[in-house]
A and B are shown apart, each in its own frame.
Chain A
Amino acid sequence: MNNFQFHTALNTSSAKEVFSSNENAKFLSGGMTLLPSMKHGLIQPEHLIDLCKIPNLNQIRDSQEYLIIGATTKHDTVANSDIVKSSIPGLAMLASLIGDPQVRARGTIGGSLANNDPAADYPSGALALKAQIVTDRREISADDFFTGFYSTALEEDEIITEIKFAKPVKSVYEKCKQSASGYALAGVFIAVYPNNEIRVAVTGVGAGVFRWKEAEVAFLASGTKPVLDRDDLISDLHAPSAYRVNMAQVLFNKAASKIKNN
């Protein structure tokens, strides 16, 4: 990797300050996507600011309406948390399906959301669960957060501090893994809220995470197979878009059955 200066931030303001006072700086959380990119020379920051030593950024807490997860909380912490399992089981499921055990021991939710890989799992959870991404300066709703291929609404020096997930009545995540990378070839998150409010979010299939409106309708009207037709469907050497669409439908049905039979 290129040479850079490593900074340990002890609070978000000093993290921002180091970021602003240096050229070509990047925030470091788990490092599970940033460091591989740096090893390949795709990103060459001159300053890395480690956020993981900032206290209280890795807590999970339960408020009335929300489950609140700190940005530097590791995937396996979310996967194994009793609070998460009881209030949003779909989210625990999602976290347990990311990567592999060693990756889950280091990767963080904040890092995953800030990166917005089109095949990452967390974006579908955040979108389905009406997440509020809380940063050092504002709250961004999930509907506005994911702006496209690897891009988010975050400003350059903006730091995610925690994510507030609206607690649903039911939640399930189903995933079809790309057999080499472990990323989602298709991932479907269903969240059921009171008054028949259904949110279905899909990852791995398009240029970024999206709400699948046809599936939300189909969920309530059982027996119909939701159509998935978009301009940005991915076809690559792993699978043509038709397969991804099929898997989204299969995963949706599986998730829907789990919810309805539970």
Chain B
Amino acid sequence: MQIKVNGQSHDLAVQDNALLIEVIRDQLQLTGTHNGCDTTQCGCCTVLMNETAVKSCTILAKQAEGASIQTIEGLAKDQLHPVQQAFSEEHGLQCGYCTPGMIMSTVYLLQRHPDPTDEQIKEGLAGNICRCTGYVNIIKAVKSAAKKIQDATI
């Protein structure tokens, strides 16, 4: 089946019961997307599918046929994405396991709410669990990234 990942088109032989995360990790060797639970709660597997944040552990690869997927590896272009930069600067990551998913959810959140309120941030990250940071610096990172993006577009 055809699928575009991080801008590159692929024609893959995919099993019917393969999950999108399995194709991303095992077939395409993009291991930045992580599996953290089995009840679609934790969000470690979050990627952008047609620019929308989705949980790749609960999507069949076949459902993503023809879609354009962006994983954490595809975020930085010439330089780090403002969200990536902000996460580091604000110490919004410790062990890093939830981080790719958290970053992709943040990218999606800021697309929809460029200047998010606290409520919108809480809601935007409701599908991502972190056990290390306590979220305090993650929320700071989201706000910092929002500012960076706004400043860049001025």
Contacts and interface: CB of A to CB of B under 8 A. Distances in A.
B55 A31 contact: no
Contact of B40 (A5, A32, A101): A32
A50 to B, nearest CB: 6
Q: Chain A interface secondary structure, helix, strand, loop or mixed?
A: loop
B84 interface: no
B128 to A, nearest CB: 8
Contact of A105 (B19, B39, B52, B63): B52
Given A101-B53, A105-B52, A40 B63 contact: no
A105 B54 contact: yes
Interface stretch (B26-34, B119-127, B132-140, B142-150): B119-127
B35 to A, nearest CB: 11
Contacts of A3: 15-17
A2 B58 contact: no
Contacts of A2: 17
Contacts of A39: 38, 58
Contacts of A106: 54-55, 58-59
Interface string A86-107: 0000000000000111110110
A99 B127 contact: yes
B72 to A, nearest CB: 15
B105 A101 contact: yes
Given A3-B16, A101-B109, A35 B127 contact: no
Interface in A146-163: none
Interface of B: 15-17, 19, 38-41, 43, 46, 49, 52-55, 58-60, 62-63, 65, 105, 108-109, 123-124, 126-127
Rank and list the top 10 A-B pairs by shortest CB-CB distance, nearest first: A100-B127, A6-B16, A100-B126, A102-B127, A6-B62, A105-B52, A102-B55, A1-B17, A35-B58, A102-B53
